[in-house]
Structure 1
Amino acid sequence: MDKLIPDPPFNATTPNAEALRSEELLKDREAIKRALDYYLDPPKPYAAKPRRPSTMYLVAPDMGTESLLAQACESLASASVLASDFATNLIGPQRNTVLAIQQIIMLAELAVNRALDNVDPQI
């Protein structure tokens, strides 16, 4: 049986086209490697850069532990009262959520009070 369309030649590409294709593959591999290195293994200058926290709200470095704990205790007590007042205006699941938050605040307040007692025992 005769074919109406002849078979394509076995090697239709020229050596020049193969060289271009291999250069494109090499460039693609290099780009993929750079992208993976950037996202999975950041460059050392960026990774070694120390984190500099914001100084907008700065606690005085010479504050004593007792003063810091006392301030934290007062802040937690205020947050507990705020949550309790807010919960009185809510009903249902929202009220339960706010009361759970208040309980977490109260537990933190108890922990801070115990730490304060350990720093300065009231005998």
Structure 2
Amino acid sequence: MKKFSKPQGDTPDNTNHPASVKLCGTADVAVIPRPRPVSSPQPIFTIAPGVDTRTLLKQACDTLASLTALLENFAAKLEGPNRGEIFSIQQLAMVAELLVNQVRDNLATDREASAGEPETRH
């Protein structure tokens, strides 16, 4: 491993440099900020194109059910106002799960009705 020694002589200071130059606190060297290239954000996770609506809704429902269970377990470990907030979030996740389930049921009912079968509601 190489050992770097401090430069001998004058150390840079802000008097001879533009206002944007900052001295690094750990080393007595000037750090000149350079603008970083701006790129458009790229999605990390994506859904495969062409997946049917029913499959997407089932996955959303399963994800919300898992979220509800995780929040309920976490809330059981807390006390006081934090517990109430987590239970509120858990209830919102549960409502979202119910809504997704209802949309999935509606799609199934619409598909059956359009196929000429009698409409059944549960």
TM-score by shorter chain over 0.5: yes
Match of 1:68 among 56, 60, 64: 56
Encode CA deviations 1:37-93: one digit per residue, 9 max, x unaligned: xxxxxxxxxxxxxxx662421101110000000000000000000000001100010
Higher relative contact order (CA 8 A, sep 6+): 1
Question: C-alpha distance in 2, partners of 1:70/1:54?
Answer: 26
Match of 1:101 among 89, 98, 101: 89
Question: C-alpha distance in 2, partners of 1:53/1:64?
Answer: 26
Instruction: State the AA in 2 paired with 1:93.
Output: P
Question: C-alpha distance in 1, partners of 2:89/2:104?
Answer: 23
Match of 1:112 among 100, 105, 117: 100
Q: How many residues align?
A: 72
Question: C-alpha distance in 2, partners of 1:84/1:75?
Answer: 14
Encode CA deviations 1:17-56: one digit per residue, 9 max, x unaligned: xxxxxxxxxxxxxxxxxxxxxxxxxxxxxxxxxxx66242
Question: C-alpha distance in 2, partners of 1:88/1:81?
Answer: 11
Question: C-alpha distance in 1, partners of 2:73/2:57?
Answer: 24
**Aligned-partner SS, 2:105:** helix
Instruction: State the AA in 1 paired with 2:87.
Output: L
Partner of 1:54: 42
* Higher alpha-carbon Rg: 1
How well do the aligned residues superpose, as a CA RMSD in angstroms?
Answer: 1.6
Question: C-alpha distance in 2, partners of 1:91/1:82?
Answer: 16
* Runs of 4+ deviating beyond 2 Å: 52-56
Unpaired runs of 5+ in structure 2? 1-39, 113-119
- The TM-score normalised by the length of structure 2 is 0.55
What percentage of residue pairs aligned between the two structures are identical?
A: 42
Instruction: State the AA in 1 paired with 2:103.
Output: A
